[in-house]
Amino acid sequence: MAKKRGIWVFGDYRNYFQNRITLQLLSRARELAAKIDAEVCAVVFGHWTDEWVDDALSHNPTFCGVVGEYIAHGADKVYLTDHPRLAAYSMETYAVLMERLAKREKPEMILIGATAFGREFAPRVAKRLGTGLTADCIGLDINPEGLLVQMAPSFGGNLIAEILTPERRPQIATVRPGTFQEIPHDYVRTGKVVKVPLPKDLTADRVRLVRSERLPQREQKLEDAKVVVCGGRGLGSKKKFAKLSELAELLGGEVGATRPVVYADWIDHDALVGQAGKQIRPQILFSFGISGAIQHTAACNGAKFVIAVNKNPNAAMMKQADVAVVADASQVCTTLIQELKRRIR
């Protein structure tokens, strides 16, 4: 039987966000694999990573067992190198391990989370394998020829380029966290674990980690919110702007703002959405009294559905909206709140 082609996902598990991106990639990898009849493999380098593997396969919801966790979230196979030398992430060593494994197994694609580690690791792996790489993708698909279409933003998200790696293999991409949705775990799923020994000739990393301090987990409320209610100068006053919080609360969402609004101190600087602030990608974006300057909208391009309210039907924001509401922002906000209260029981 011919060997199945592999879609690999680098198992980046150092902290919560990294693990989430790995699970998100496994989910998308499954969908891509169905289109080209490939198998989904996770690649894990580390120490104590498989501690819970057997338990995990028999319904153990424990987080520590990354191997079991990846299988439960969609991996058919996990390549695992577990060794004390891999207890801390180490760029050169990880790059060598990935290079050797990829040269031996010849995967079709490698997907890597666009974490700081991933974005330094992937270019090294790509260079070693003499193949192409697309950075920070916000979409992945398979074209009719079975090639990976890599959608990458440029110019602060103002443009999206569709990129292919037509000839070289593997096709490699780093993917922005939050682009895809993870599939819920299934601890009954089984998978294969392939143990890969640490190469004997591995030399010491030329970069030494002297100290590493875990910073407090950054909350990413706005970045991860499914619903964002954004307000701009058109709301007119701090008092009217404050209504957005009530709306956001009813919708289970977060409040975002434009630069004039944070400068006027209607809300904390943390809420700034844009080139100088946060990048958002909600399922629904409500935009109230925002003109739609490029420095703001570049950070909203990931929104799936946009409802914009503006007095001016020609405002740039209105052109980018799925629903353009020509009306007074504050009035629409108040009416929406009333209506939602009636509907949510």
Partner 1 sequence: MLKLVVCLKQVPMVSELPWDPKTGTLQRDLAEGMMNPDCRSALDAALRLREGRGGKITVITMGPPMAEEVLREAIALGADRGVLLTDRKMAGADTAATSYTLARAIQKTCPGFDLVLCGSSTSDSETAQVGPQLAEELDVPGVAYVDELEIAGRTVRMRRRADNFLETLEMELPGLVTLTSGFYAPRHVPLGGLQEAFAGADIVSLDAAALGIDPERVGAKGSATKILNVYSPTAGKKNVVLTGAPKWIVQQLFERFEDKIGGAIGKDLKMDGK
**Structural tokens at position 173:** 């991409």
Bridge partners, residue 172, by sequence: 110, 133
Binding-site member from 41, 122, 244, 262 for partner 1 (CB under 8 A)? 122
Sheet holding 77-82, edge to edge: 133-137, 171-175, 109-113, 5-10, 38-46, 77-82, 192-195
Q: Site residues for ligand FAD, window 219-248 (CB under 6 A)?
A: 232-234, 236
Instruction: Give the Cα separation of 32 and 2 in Å (integer).
Output: 19
Q: Give residues with Cβ within 8 angstroms of 182, minimum separation 6.
A: 20, 23, 24, 26, 27, 73
CB under 5 to 8 A by kind: which of ligand FAD, partner 1, none does 289 bind?
ligand FAD
Binding-site member from 155, 195, 237, 238 for partner 1 (CB under 8 A)? 155
Q: Which helix (H) or strand (E) holds 224?
A: helix 221-224
Q: Rule CB under 6 A: say whether 289 interacts with ligand FAD.
A: yes
CB under 5 to 8 A by kind: which of ligand FAD, partner 1, none does 93 bind?
none
Cα dihedral angle (40, 44, 50, 56), rounded to 10 degrees? -30
Nearer to ligand FAD, 123 or 236 (CB): 236
CB under 5 to 8 A by kind: which of partner 1, ligand FAD, none does 64 bind?
none
CB of 296: closest distance to partner 1 in angstroms? 12
Q: Rule CB under 8 A: say whether 133 interacts with partner 1.
A: yes
| Type of residue numbered 62 | T
DSSP 8-state class, residue 225: -
Q: Site residues for partner 1, window 321-340 (CB under 8 A)?
A: 321-328, 331-332, 334-336, 339-340
CB under 5 to 8 A by kind: which of ligand FAD, partner 1, none does 218 bind?
partner 1
Nearer to ligand FAD, 15 or 158 (CB): 158
CB of 201: closest distance to partner 1 in angstroms? 17
Q: Give residues with Cβ within 8 angstroms of 93, minimum separation 6.
A: 45, 85, 86, 202, 205
CB under 5 to 8 A by kind: which of ligand FAD, partner 1, none does 227 bind?
partner 1
Nearer to partner 1, 39 or 108 (CB): 108
Q: Rule CB under 6 A: say whether 326 interacts with ligand FAD.
A: no
